[in-house]
Structure 1
C-alpha cells in the first residue's frame, strides 16, 4: 500500500524545486534579454518579470515533467545529446510563453522580434545549463535528477 503522506510530500517538494529553479534562473536571463537585446525600458522589464514570475508558478512543474520526458531521448554519457535534448525541451515549451509575456509587457514591432529571436537563442544556449541547474535544485530538495525516468505527478 503506497504511503500517501510520502507521495504528497514528494509532489510538494517537486513542485517547489521546479518552481524555485525556473524563477531564479529565468528572472536573471529574462532581465538581460529584455533590457539589452529587446531594448525594453526598465519599467517594461519589471512588468515582464512580475508577469513572468506569476506565469512560472503554474508552468514550472509541467515544464519539469516535459523536460524529464524529452530528456529520455538523450544519451546519458553523451554531452552533445544532453545539450541538444535539453535545448529542445526548453525552446519547445518556454519560447511561446515568453513571447506572450514580452508582448503583453509592451514589446512590439522590431523589439518584439528581437526579443523572440534573443529568447530563442538564449534558450538554445541555456537549455543544458538550466537543465543542470534544475537537477541541482532538485538534489537540494532531496529529489532525483530528471531525464533518465520522468518524475511524474504521482512519484
Structure 2
C-alpha cells in the first residue's frame, strides 16, 4: 500500500472510530452532556488529522513486534490494545478532559473506549488496512 493510501486509511479509520464510538461512549457510558461530547469530538478531528498516520505507523511497529513472537490473531488483538493504550488513550483522555468532564467521567470514557476497541477495533483496523 502506498504512503498516501496508508495515510488516508489511517486518518479515515481514526476519525470514524473516534466520532462514532467516541461519541457513543461519552454519551451513553460516561454520562457526558451532548455539548461536552460535541466539544470533545470536534476537538478530536484536527488532532486525529495530525496523529492518524503517526499512530498507524506506531501501531504497525507494535504489531510487527508481536508477530515476531507469534502470528496468531490473539497476539494481534493484544498488540492492538497495547498500541491503543500507550499512544491513543492519553490523547483521548486529554480531549475528554478539556470538554469539562469530571475525572470519573474521563476514566469511564477511557474504559468505554478500551471496551469498544476490544470488541470492534481489530476488525475496523483490518478493514481499513486492506484498502487497495
Structure 1 and Structure 2 fold alike (TM over 0.5)? yes
Specify which of 128, 135, 150 is matched with residue 126 of structure 2. 135
Tell me how far apart the structure 2 counterparts of residues 113 and 26 of structure 1 sit (CA, whole Å): 16
TM-score, normalized by length of structure 1? 0.74
Tell me how far apart the structure 2 counterparts of residues 35 and 136 of structure 1 sit (CA, whole Å): 26
Q: Work out which of the two has the higher radius of gyration on C-alpha atoms and give 1 or 2.
A: 1
Q: Which runs of 5+ in 2 are unaligned?
A: none
Where does residue 148 of structure 1 map in the other structure?
none
Where does residue 58 of structure 2 map in the other structure?
66
Which structure has the highest helix share of the two? 2
Where does residue 99 of structure 1 map in the other structure?
93
Where does residue 12 of structure 1 map in the other structure?
4
Q: Which runs of 5+ in 1 are unaligned?
A: 1-8, 143-155
- Deviation of 1:108 after TM superposition, in Å, equals 1.5
Partner deviation per Cα, 1:77-105 (whole Å, 9 max, x = no partner): x1211111111111111110000000111
TM-score, normalized by length of structure 2? 0.86
- Deviation of 1:131 after TM superposition, in Å, equals 3.5
Q: Number of aligned residue pairs: give it.
A: 129
